[in-house]
Amino acid sequence: MTTVAIDFGTSNTVVSILEPDTQLPKSLRFPNLSRLFIGASAHGERLEIPVIPSVLFIKSHNQVILGEGVRSQRLGLSQSYPPERLFKKFKRDLAGDYQSPPIHIEGRDYDSRSICELFIQSIWREIKKQNIKPNHLVFTVPVGAFERYLDWFRDLGAKLNVPEVSIIDESTAAGLGYAIKHPGVLMLVVDFGGGTLDLSLLKTVPHSSPNGNLRAEVLAKSEAYVGGEDIDIWIVEDYLRSQNLRREQLGKIAYQNLLEIAEKLKIQLSKNQSVSETWFDDESFMSYELRMNREKLEEILENRQFLQQLREALDDVLGIAFKKGIHKNDIDEVLLVGGSCLIPAVRQLIISYFGKNKVKLNKPFDAVCHGALTVSKFTQVDDFLHHSYAIRLWDAYSRTYTYHRLFTQGTKYPCESKAWLNLQVANNGQMEVHLDIGELGDMTQTEIAFDASGRMTSSIVQHQETYRSLDSQHQKVCVAKLNPPGEAGFDRISVLFYVDSHRTLLATVKDLLTGEILVDRGEVYKLR
């Protein structure tokens, strides 16, 4: 029996196992699914890292192609294989609050959730073909993942019939992978992939138990919803403006080809000062050339506030650390993971913060997955609430929702709300009390303005608070039944909330009319 880790990424997915004999991590390579990235070990040895491109093409209901098979056959990039059947960035859509309308193919609807599930289940079948019998599956998720997103992975693990399913955030996993044998190291993990930028400051300390295990203490976290997929789009948009073209003038096939070329240029610029690619538009029968150098790419990144969001995320995590008495110079190592960290401008910015000697980039693609495999070796991961938790209340007078914070971001758990919360019923004769509890998170967006000549005139980074209900079925949690029925306009119940050491949200509910305890530390929601 084997532990399997899946780092499901927006651009690439990595699958790793612990070798039964050596207990060392190994990334799996699958025929027709994997592509190889060439890297180097800490000692300069040449490494081949197999990754599965996170793309999927539906030829028919009985024939689904994914990974490198899509890229090698150029599916979705010609009239023979229409782009409507090509799915990219579906993992990013899965994490979003807004879900794109489903795509209708041969009488069936495919949305981001069904495509994500189809993608992972297809990989799971390939794992079984290699005569691997998993008994423990570890999924990695972004630092800022909301609970509904985590629920999807828990449900998928149940569908795969795995005896044990664990979830760990990607930045922490990367830190564990780098420092599993080195207690007392203070590390900042910068995980910059295709869809998100996640940062975790953590420290490994010896555990008090005699088994020699370590304890991972998470000290600070930060994130931004921006990544390599955005850069590809920005490169294409910049090229179209230079040619006085609009996206609407291109066909879907031409646009997908441009995105493919933009990704190639971006990757090549990690090793070259300037690159170029040509492409032929099958729809207009015209040939084009895209040229790009590092200076131009950095200009695009600055204009789109990409580097500014990275600066803000770094300042945010360092600010949290400073409040805990930790200074920037106290950080021992800065570990870069994710393909976007290969961009020279990104590396240079991070080096300018911490110095070249502290910054390491020798495991950009497999550090997260390999680190996830070490979860069982850690007796405990000390953590805190990354989002604020709130109850959403309907104000009958203003006819709008208001939010009452129960626990603020950064609170270490277990914890208890500071005071009892008195609530009224909404209607006369109400027999039950329902609570709508969710997470409040900060979403970062960039607003860009251009003049008539296509030149950028302004760019603003905007921060907006968003609410995500904990319940994926959009059903409020019933916590108490009232007898006698409630009367509108008067406080009827008082609630005290807790989060226990297992991150389970609990509530005690008292009836203010009868004095009866309706619920005594009842489970409201498992936060993990």
pLDDT of 283 over the 80 cut: no
Q: Nearest-CA neighbor of 478 among 424, 429, 524, 520?
A: 524
Confidence tier at 252 by pLDDT (50, 70, 90)? confident
**Helical pair 252-268 and 228-242, crossing angle rounded to 10 deg:** 110
User: Can you read off the two tokens belonging to residue 301?
Assistant: 């990144």
- The model carries a pTM of 0.74
3-state secondary structure of 253: helix
Per-residue pLDDT of 345-377, as tens digits, reads: 999 999 999 999 999 988 889 999 998 998 766
Give the bridge partners for 16, in sequence order.
5, 27
- Tell me how far apart the terminal alpha carbons of the chain are, to the nearest angstrom: 25
Per-residue pLDDT of 107-127, as tens digits, reads: 899 999 999 999 999 999 999
Give the bridge partners for 215, in sequence order.
205, 380
Beta strands (DSSP E) in 119-263 are 134-141, 164-169, 186-192, 197-206, 214-224
pLDDT of 100 over the 60 cut: yes
Per-residue pLDDT of 406-444, as tens digits, reads: 888 767 778 888 889 999 888 899 998 888 888 876 555
Confidence tier at 395 by pLDDT (50, 70, 90)? confident
Q: What percent of the chain has pLDDT over 70?
A: 84
Contact 365, 14 (CB under 8 A): yes
Tally of CB atoms within 10 A around 156: 21
pLDDT of 45 over the 80 cut: no
pLDDT of residue 386: 63
pLDDT of residue 450: 46
In DSSP notation, 254-283 reads HHHHHHHHHHHHHHHTTT-SEEEEEEEETT
Return the sign of the alpha-carbon dihedral for residues 311, 314, 316, 319: negative
pLDDT of residue 310: 92
Per-residue pLDDT of 7-25, as tens digits, reads: 999 899 999 998 878 878 8
User: Can you read off the two tokens belonging to residue 399?
Assistant: 């006819």
Per-residue pLDDT of 185-221, as tens digits, reads: 899 999 888 888 888 898 877 755 555 566 667 788 8
**Pick the residue with more confidence: 120 or 380?**
120
Residue type present at position 511: D
The whole-angstrom separation of Cα 405 and Cα 389 is: 6
**Pick the residue with more confidence: 17 or 500?**
17
User: Can you read off the two tokens belonging to residue 103?
Assistant: 């795509």
Per-residue pLDDT of 156-184, as tens digits, reads: 999 999 999 988 888 778 887 775 566 78
Q: Nearest-CA neighbor of 129 among 32, 25, 30?
A: 30
The whole-angstrom separation of Cα 177 and Cα 378 is: 11
Q: At which residue do the structure tokens 């950095």 appear?
A: 298
Say which residues have a Cβ less than 8 Å from residue 394's Cβ, sequence separation at least 6: 401, 426
Tell me the mean pLDDT in the region 231-242.
93
Confidence tier at 399 by pLDDT (50, 70, 90)? confident
> What are the CA-CA distances from residue 171 to residues 196, 369, 494 (Å)?
11, 10, 39
pLDDT of residue 169: 81
Tell me the mean pLDDT in the region 456-481.
61
**Pick the residue with more confidence: 525 or 362?**
362
Lowest mean pLDDT among 31-40, 95-104, 376-385, 496-505: 376-385
The whole-angstrom separation of Cα 282 and Cα 521 is: 64
* Arithmetic mean of pLDDT over the chain: 83
